[in-house]
Structure 1
Amino acid sequence: MADEENTTEILLSVSLRKARFSSKSRRADTSIKMLKDAVARYTKSDRDRIWVDNKVNELIWSRGRRKVPTRVNIKVIKLEDGTSEIILP
């Protein structure tokens, strides 16, 4: 998907530490939302137009719903049409 158009790539390190303030049963869900919000700030795009790769999702959910990682290194690919992809570097 990213190879077809002109793209911009950004490497980010996103802290998910504040997800610990949410309830234990919703920490992984909150982490995904925090990840999308951080990428939306950097790419100046809408959160609905951000696509999360399955490997990033599996990384966040790898230790279960309650024990999410505190920091994630990601690569963001912004396409010309305004959509963004979140993948692992």
Structure 2
Amino acid sequence: MATKEKEEKSVSVVVIPLRKAYYVPRPKRANKAVKLVREYVQRHFKVDEVKISNDLNEFIWSRNREKPPRRVKVSVRIIEEEESKIAIVSLAGETPS
């Protein structure tokens, strides 16, 4: 069997602004905030796929779908596999697993 090569790069901590989530109707704000996190990480880290941790997702949804946080501090780990780059995004205070 062929083994998949996984190479992990450094961990970056960034603050992602979620202000644009407040420009959409109230019931869609938390969904928009999750999309903004994905788009921000893809744009700034040039990755193919973004995986959001459960803790970050729960933090965005914690104040209901109508009032997501204005900004969120996250840590981004980039894993390079054979031909793709994957970013794992989690809350900055959390230890990456």
Could you tell me the TM-score, scaled by structure 2's length? 0.82
Following superposition, the deviation at residue 10 of structure 1 comes to 1.0
- How many residues are paired up? 84
Q: Match of 2:37, SS?
A: helix
Instruction: Specify which structure has the higher proportion of strand.
Output: 2
What is the TM-score normalised by the length of structure 1?
0.89
Runs of 4+ with >6 A deviation: none
In 2, distance between residues paired with 1:13 and 1:35?
10
For the residue of structure 1 that corresponds to 2:68, the secondary structure is coil
Partner of 2:55: 55
Unaligned runs of at least 5 residues, structure 2: 1-5, 93-97
**CA displacement 1:6-60 (0-9 Å, x = unmatched):** 22211110000111001111000000000000000111013xx110000000000
Distance 1:70 1:83 in 2: 25
Secondary structure of 2:67's aligned partner: coil
**RMSD, aligned CA:** 1.1
CA contact (8 A) 2:8 2:77 kept: no
Distance in 1 of aligned mates of 2:51 and 2:64: 21
- State the identity as a percent: 32
Cα distance in 2 between the residues matched to 1:60 and 1:6: 26
- What do residues 51-84 of structure 1 show as CA deviations (whole Å, max 9, x unaligned)? 0000000000000000010010000000012011
Question: Do structure 1's residue 84 and structure 2's residue 69 form an aligned pair?
Answer: no
Superposed counterparts of 1:1-89, under 5 Å: 5-46=7-48, 49-81=49-81, 82-89=85-92
Q: Is the 8 A contact 1:76 1:85 kept in 2?
A: yes
Q: Which has the larger radius of gyration?
A: 2
